[in-house]
Amino acid sequence: MAVRAEMPGSNVQNKKKVIKPGTQPDGGTLNWSIERRSLPGHPKCDTIQIIFHFEDGIQSEMHPHPGHRFRGSDTVAFLPQSTTGTRVLRLLDQAFQHRLLFTVVADGNSGEYCVRPADIPLKTRDTAGLDGLGYPDPSYMKTVKKCLAMKGIK
């Protein structure tokens, strides 16, 4: 009978990182489609359009004001339909399933609680803007993959 010795810290269970869930409200949906147009900076690719939807709801214990209402939202994001863009779509879907992409916050103007993107960057404009939410952005794919990896999404 052979006995297999393992080095300290080499246990397979230690290598598999547990992803801590975020504060995204329950019940949201992620749907995507392909648009036959290119994003600035990605002239040879079609566009992946992602629609995130959240209904109005009641804040849970993980939110800033449990028991109070929040306003839902529809957020549209864009990726180039390239090898990297398709990979990032899969990673964003994993992050969504782990409740990492959105959170409930108080609106800065009205004080009303609403669903907003959390700290993983999304490109919510398909053209350039001063806010950095659009294209072209040659570093976005690298940046978003790094942010996702920091949360355990690889």
| Structural domains of the chain, with CATH | 22-150 (3.30.390.130)
Write down the pLDDT at residue 8: 43
Q: Which is it for strands 46-54 and 29-35: parallel, antiparallel or unpaired?
A: antiparallel
pLDDT of residue 85: 97
CA pseudo-torsion sign 132, 133, 136, 141: positive
Mean per-residue pLDDT pooled into runs of 10, the chain (154 residues): 40 60 95 97 96 96 92 97 97 97 93 95 89 91 96 94
Question: How far is CA 145 from each of CA 92, 120, 141, 149, rounded to the nearest angstrom?
Answer: 9, 9, 6, 6
